[in-house]
Structure 1
């Protein structure tokens, strides 16, 4: 199929935060390839802040999943707004709709066809006009998604992940403020509170000038929909006596507690830091999208596919695939090597 010089391309990625972050290299490459074309993205309200303010997009289309609706939002209202948005997309005369999830997505292909584009591009046997073959190659998620770029004549390795942050643009990152994110969705990636306490104490001894921004998902641990880490954060702060002088601004305290209730709050909190220590998950990919050096603790997930992309990093994983088996000393050594500029060993 002939590639138009100014195509109208819609990228669909409805998955989790990290999945969308790993799609930003493709979006950026498409913008560089077609600076005068039209480029949009269709995402859900949960992951949309990843692309908010992106200079690579002409427009961001956001819909709300039923399980993500806010208090007071009705299901009919959500579905009506979604239908209006899809009708508008259908009238736009799209050339390509790219379903950027590197798995068969037959349902999304049917939705894409309803938008009446000239072509639907997707992965695997799913009824798309162009079906990229599934592969068992040991690729990173960024590389899996970036295979779409070859169809537009884009060669070379994928670029870095990219997230826009007003905080980073306005204030810049503080190299001596280290973000420590203590929450993790998967049980295999939850490091105990006492380990975080011991790590911070150890790093404060070896790097007296460091300050720490403690980040966590707020709420009670027994919330069935969105388990939080208020109790875990409280125990860490109490053990470290982190409140400091009552008159000191939060940003000047040795330990600054930040409960990130929303994704924009998490992005803003990360953007002001010089490095990140966390478990594999959405926060790790956000840090990579902001260009932060990262020490990441992996549990039961693939380091090859989900490690931080194109940023200085140290990846720690045990044969048990449980982060509880990673020692405090190992994390501290990884951070010291990362801060000292010691090259990472080959994967």
Structure 2
């Protein structure tokens, strides 16, 4: 339970059932009647970064159906992303690793809600089991060119059931309560005594192969402090805390380690005020993209065209053409693509002029 801003949070430890390709979308020919939409369910994903990529879908629905009761399904890691948002009525939490036997009461609970519109971004059987008025189809026509960014793939899926006009440029799905903003402001002022401009550096990533080197991060952060008199906030989860502490020992009082010290909503408050987000392929990268903060993402083995920064001010560096492990997934060699990116290349990619980042990347 998160308090008065959400009706309730339900948690069932159940797996999400993969969709059978033979299922037919029986309502594909139905005319979409907006006046019938009073309850909406968005089935999102599990990992935090993947859930953030679905927020633009939620923004459209929250904008176009302001009076509808809005619920979401996410994994345990991402549920606090919606903490304190009065527009989200209910967060249904699942654990995909649990037994199939627990699926029935969970699905029954969803069916009892009698949703009018279900947008399934996981491509599961759930919409077919809870009988909404409108639902996404079991399959979506593949992009002929391939490599569609996941943000746009999710938007394409939404359009299959709801023919929306335009994207929402206002953010509805993520809200930062005043107490969380105050918490972040207090942490920053406790460290530096005043409101300083800062960059966010997020050295962590879920996969070790996606992490840039600690010496690289240290050198770039040092130069940001020296050249532009900026402070550095190190962001990430508890698993990144120890590595970040090693960076603080070098950067000293100009750096603040907030790894593992903030909630997801508080992390959003930190990122939103940053001059720049220097990140790996990670949740902070997607968060900065959603918040339209200037992003320089350092990419290795990931497909940047599908998972790269997607904000208006998003840029990336990638040097994986000569990485044997990237070029051949069956190669057992270690990835060296991230180590191939030098601190000087990162520093050459942008400059800060009058407090604003100007990128030197085409």
TM-based fold match above 0.5: yes
Asked whether the 8 Å contact 2:210–2:281 carries over to 1, the reply is yes
Q: Distance in 2 between matches of 1:194 and 1:38?
A: 48
Q: Which residue of 1 aligns with 2:143?
A: 135
Other structure's SS at 2:92 match:
strand
Deviations 1:25-58 (A, max 9, x none): 1111122222233332111211222333445533
Deviations 1:308-335 (A, max 9, x none): 2224122111134622111101212224
Q: How far apart are residue 136 of structure 1 and its match?
A: 4.1
Q: How far apart are residue 344 of structure 1 and its match?
A: 6.3
User: Could you say if the C-alpha distance between residues 136 and 86 of structure 1 is closer, same or farther in structure 2, counting changes exceeding 3 Å?
Assistant: same
* Residue range with higher mean Cα deviation, 146-155 or 14-23: 146-155
Asked whether the 8 Å contact 1:166–1:268 carries over to 2, the reply is no
Q: Distance in 1 between matches of 2:88 and 2:170?
A: 16
Asked whether the 8 Å contact 1:160–1:309 carries over to 2, the reply is no
Q: How far apart are residue 159 of structure 1 and its match?
A: 4.4
Q: Which residue of 2 aligns with 1:327?
A: 342
Gaps of 5+ in 2: 1-29, 189-194, 327-336
User: Could you say if the C-alpha distance between residues 52 and 94 of structure 1 is closer, same or farther in structure 2, counting changes exceeding 3 Å?
Assistant: same
Q: Which residue of 1 aligns with 2:284?
A: 283
User: Could you say if the C-alpha distance between residues 283 and 145 of structure 1 is closer, same or farther in structure 2, counting changes exceeding 3 Å?
Assistant: same
Which one of 234, 237, 257 corresponds to residue 214 of structure 1?
234
Deviations 1:74-128 (A, max 9, x none): x99xx86x76554332122222322113xxx4xx21x332223234314xxxxx3
Q: Distance in 2 between matches of 1:343 and 1:234?
A: 29
Gaps of 5+ in 1: 68-74, 123-127, 219-227, 243-252
Other structure's SS at 1:40 match:
strand
Q: How far apart are residue 21 of structure 1 and its match?
A: 0.9
Asked whether the 8 Å contact 2:43–2:119 carries over to 1, the reply is yes
User: Could you say if the C-alpha distance between residues 35 and 216 of structure 1 is closer, same or farther in structure 2, counting changes exceeding 3 Å?
Assistant: closer
Other structure's SS at 1:323 match:
coil
Asked whether the 8 Å contact 1:294–1:311 carries over to 2, the reply is no
Q: Distance in 1 between matches of 2:120 and 2:341?
A: 37
Asked whether the 8 Å contact 2:218–2:250 carries over to 1, the reply is yes
User: Could you say if the C-alpha distance between residues 143 and 205 of structure 1 is closer, same or farther in structure 2, counting changes exceeding 3 Å?
Assistant: same
* Residue range with higher mean Cα deviation, 177-186 or 43-52: 43-52
Asked whether the 8 Å contact 1:146–1:158 carries over to 2, the reply is no
Q: Which residue of 1 aligns with 2:13?
A: none
Q: How far apart are residue 231 of structure 1 and its match?
A: 4.3
Q: Which residue of 2 aligns with 1:146?
A: 155
Q: Distance in 2 between matches of 1:341 and 1:193?
A: 23
What RMSD, in angstroms, separates the aligned Cα atoms of the two structures? 3.1
Asked whether the 8 Å contact 1:30–1:149 carries over to 2, the reply is no
Asked whether the 8 Å contact 2:48–2:78 carries over to 1, the reply is yes
TM (normalized to structure 1)? 0.75
Which one of 41, 57, 60 corresponds to residue 29 of structure 1?
60
Q: Which residue of 2 aligns with 1:222?
A: none
Q: Distance in 1 between matches of 2:142 and 2:271?
A: 34
TM (normalized to structure 2)? 0.72
Asked whether the 8 Å contact 2:293–2:313 carries over to 1, the reply is yes
1:293 aligned to 2:262?
A: no
Asked whether the 8 Å contact 2:349–2:361 carries over to 1, the reply is no
Q: Distance in 1 between matches of 2:134 and 2:94?
A: 22
User: Could you say if the C-alpha distance between residues 230 and 17 of structure 1 is closer, same or farther in structure 2, counting changes exceeding 3 Å?
Assistant: closer
Asked whether the 8 Å contact 1:179–1:214 carries over to 2, the reply is yes
Q: Which residue of 1 aligns with 2:256?
A: 256
Other structure's SS at 2:132 match:
coil
* Residue range with higher mean Cα deviation, 271-280 or 54-63: 54-63
User: Could you say if the C-alpha distance between residues 29 and 56 of structure 1 is closer, same or farther in structure 2, counting changes exceeding 3 Å?
Assistant: farther
